[in-house]
Amino acid sequence: MRFAPLFAAILFCTPVLAGPKDTVRLYPAQQVSANTFVIHGPQGLPSAANQSFMNNPAWIITAEGVVVIDPGSSVQAGRMVVAQLRKTTKKPVTHVFNTHVHGDHWLGNQAILEMWPQATLIAHPDMIKQANAGADAFWLELMSNMTNGYTQGTRAVIPTVEAADGQEFKIGGKTFRIHSSTDAHSKTDLMIEIVEDSILFTGDNILNRQTMNLRDGTFKGVMKATDRALALNARLYVPGHGKTGDRKFVAEQKAYFDILMSEVRRMYAEGKSDFEMKPVLAEKLKAYRKWIEWDTNLGPQISLAILEVEQE
């Protein structure tokens, strides 16, 4: 999720008393499957109140070690993840997957390598390219600004191993199958399937009861990724934000986007502007208005949908 255009005023806030050795307050780890744990972060934007932590870090205990997915938004958040992980196993972290370039998911890498410096960091090739081309600095600054300086001390530890669509990583008796795209939530997205356990980690391609920020992505790509996730018929889906569950919440996201895009196409053909479309869509989508960030993201979603319809 990209936040910069909305929060320039945060630059003028008084810094929070924090430092590079701080750790985010503990959040519980939920065991969602025999060897899989998820810390469900609070939903919403990074802030001083949540100490930058608002994603869903997870780990899978294998025969050889531990695989971490998205260790959080800062070194402080990552240290909290490490502390909770170590309560569940004495095995070392051997691999880390980062689902996309948005820093709320991967800036916690630093904390993993502090504890396990030999861990292998894996991501989409375009995520690695963007991070090395300046996205790292953008996200470090943004996280610091949005938390009033709480995340100071965080360094960008960028993955070095590329993951391709369809690639399978065999790790400790588990198969981590990659479902990647270049046109979804961030255009740098991985979804990671644990084949033996029928679990899909969706990254931010799918959220649970949260209105998606699509400023860096496309409806077309996210809708394809959602269809792909549903086609897998996984036993469990772990979203980038929101609670883990079965396919029901994935189908809810599909229904939301189907309604939005079909209505935008219809009203665009009638010559209506985004301003005229918004109240109609708010009514058509009223079943979803309690979703997190509804008020913030519905308008930008409509504008983006119009741009995509114009290109059809």
* Tokens standing for residue 85: 């992980």
Closest CA to 75 of 90, 53, 100: 53
At which residue do the structure tokens 């008796």 appear? 173
Q: Which pLDDT tens digit goes with each residue over 12-22?
A: 333 334 455 68
Q: Give the domain ranges of the chain.
A: 4-252
pTM over 0.95: no
Query: What pLDDT does residue 22 have?
Result: 86
Q: Give the mean pLDDT of the chain.
A: 94
Q: Which residues of 165-183 are buried (b: 16+ CB within 10 A; e: fewer)?
A: eeeebebbebebbbbbbee
Query: What pLDDT does residue 9 have?
Result: 37
- Tell me the C-alpha to C-alpha distance, in Å, between residue 284 and each of 211, 251, 255, 257, 258: 15, 17, 11, 11, 11
Q: Can you tell me the distance from the alpha carbon of 199 to that of 179, in angstroms, rounded to the nearest whole number?
A: 13
Query: What pLDDT does residue 88 have?
Result: 99
Q: Which pLDDT tens digit goes with each residue over 54-84?
A: 999 999 999 999 999 999 999 999 999 999 9
User: Which CATH number among 3.60.15.10, 3.30.360.10, 3.90.180.10, 3.40.50.300 corresponds to the domain 4-252?
Assistant: 3.60.15.10
Q: Tell me how far the alpha carbon of residue 300 is from its chain's centroid.
A: 19
- Is residue 15 classed as helix, strand or coil in its secondary structure? coil
| Averaged pLDDT for residues 124-139 | 99
Query: What pLDDT does residue 17 have?
Result: 41
| Averaged pLDDT for residues 211-235 | 98
Burial class (CB in 10 A: 0-12, 13-18, 19+), 62: buried
